[in-house]
Amino acid sequence: MSRPAVLLTGVGKRYDIVSAFAQHALVVAADPSPLAPAQYAADVRVAPPRADDPSYVPFLRELCSQHGVVAVVPLTDLDLDVLGDSDLPAFVPDAEVCRRTFDKYLAHQLLLEHGLPSPPTWLPGEEPQGFPAVVKPRRGSGSRSIHPAADAREADFFAGYVKEPVMVQRFMDGPEFSVDVLCDLEGRCLNAIPRTMLESRGGESIKGAAIADPELIELGRAVAETLPLRGPATIQMFRDRSLGLRVTDINARFGGAFACPMYAARPGRTYPELIVRMALGETIEPHVGDFLAGRTFTRFFWQIELDEQMRPTGRDIVAEGRPRAPR
């Protein structure tokens, strides 16, 4: 019996996600860059058109037909709404939810519309809702161009300094958490795994631990099912000393710290495996809060050598082909 096929788009450097899917399916990796390292963990490598090109969806549709793809999973924000509008078997929310969660101010409004907690947030020129605050791009990523503002004067300065649309949000005085969720295609939350943000770099968590915090789990589930989300998503939140929990960001895709829900999931319940099983028609029952708390991850970088034809040589710095773990 042939293995089911999964198409992963915008794989970039997400070698961890691609290799995790490869344990359960034939993986087709679509990325326009020949230097995207994660594609070398896949079975098939393709260079698609840009996501805003009219030929993008037809190109993916042909791939799905050619390889018998049962699930399409994007690994970046760039094609979320395009896939949400398509007829492909994509594990993404409706296109409108994708568009609104990609814009942080629209995401703030979306949360409030559904009675979900979001920090006081306003646009430049509107009445401030409290300081200190942070000025951040509405469509920013990787902690790009985020500036603290102690008062309205500083907020106005940074709003003009950042060369893209921005919003102003009350500074959250407390610890930051992320909740990695997985929803089925009906929008039911199957699991919600909270993690601490012990250290981040460029907006991406590189150290953290899964924690069994009922309040975080319940808010993650509520956000996922209320919007609703479909497939994997990461919900970022702060526990402010005076305001309590407030949701600050929703990524309708796998988060940067994919390692945490992988390590914390019980055997047979990792998110890639569940996605493949759902794509094959299996109904997965919700098991929200059932995971291995206390699992800590710490991430590092590695590399792949390519020859003159951009093919992996198989050669590595370490003779066995993998970095040594300390004894």
Per-residue pLDDT of 179-222, as tens digits, reads 999 999 999 999 999 999 888 887 788 899 999 999 999 999 99
Res. 105 pLDDT band, cuts 50 70 90? very high
CA distance 183 to 22: 21
Query: Would you tell me the crossing angle of helices 271-279 and 15-22 to the nearest 10 degrees?
Result: 50
Contact 250, 228 (CB under 8 A): no
CATH placement of domain 99-103+173-298:
3.30.470.20
Q: How confident is the model at residue 255 (pLDDT cuts 50, 70, 90)?
A: very high
Sign of dihedral through CA atoms 102, 106, 110, 112? positive
State residue 134's pLDDT score. 97
Query: 314 or 171, which is more confident?
Result: 171
Q: In this predicted structure, what is the pLDDT of residue 204? A: 80
Give the pLDDT of residue 67: 98
Query: In the predicted model, what is the mean pLDDT of the chain?
Result: 94
| 270-277: average pLDDT | 98
Is the alpha carbon torsion for 195, 289, 17, 237 positive or negative? Answer: negative
User: How much of the chain exceeds pLDDT 70, in percent?
Assistant: 97
Asked if pLDDT for residue 269 goes beyond 90, the answer is yes
Per-residue pLDDT tens over the stretch 138-187 = 997 766 789 999 999 999 999 999 999 999 999 999 999 999 999 999 99
Q: Read out DSSP for 18-34?
A: HHHHHTTSEEEEE-S-T
Confidence of residue 78 (pLDDT cuts 50, 70, 90): very high
More confident of the two residues 105 and 326: 105
Return d(Cα 263, Cα 294) in angstroms, integer.
10
Distance in angstroms (rounded) separating the CA atoms of residues 199 and 206: 6
Asked if domains 5-90 and 99-103+173-298 share a fold, the reply is no
Average pLDDT over residues 58-77: 98
Of 178, 188, 206, 179, the C-alpha closest to 274 is 188
Domain ranges across the chain: 5-90, 99-103+173-298, 120-170
Overall average pLDDT of the 10-34 stretch: 97
Q: Are 70 and 5 in contact (CB under 8 A)?
A: yes
* pLDDT given at position 142: 63
Q: Confirm if 91 and 275 have CB atoms less than 8 A apart.
A: yes
What residues pair up with 296 in beta bridges, in sequence order? 209
Q: What is the pLDDT of residue 140?
A: 73
- Decide if 149 contacts 168 (C-beta within 8 A): yes
d(CA 75, CA 20): 13
Its pTM surpasses 0.75: yes
**Would you state the pLDDT for residue 289?**
97
Residue 327 confidence (pLDDT) above 80: no
Q: Classify domain 5-90 at the CATH class level.
A: alpha beta
Which pLDDT value is given to residue 326? 45
Instruction: Examine the pLDDT at 316 and tell me if it is beyond 90.
Output: no
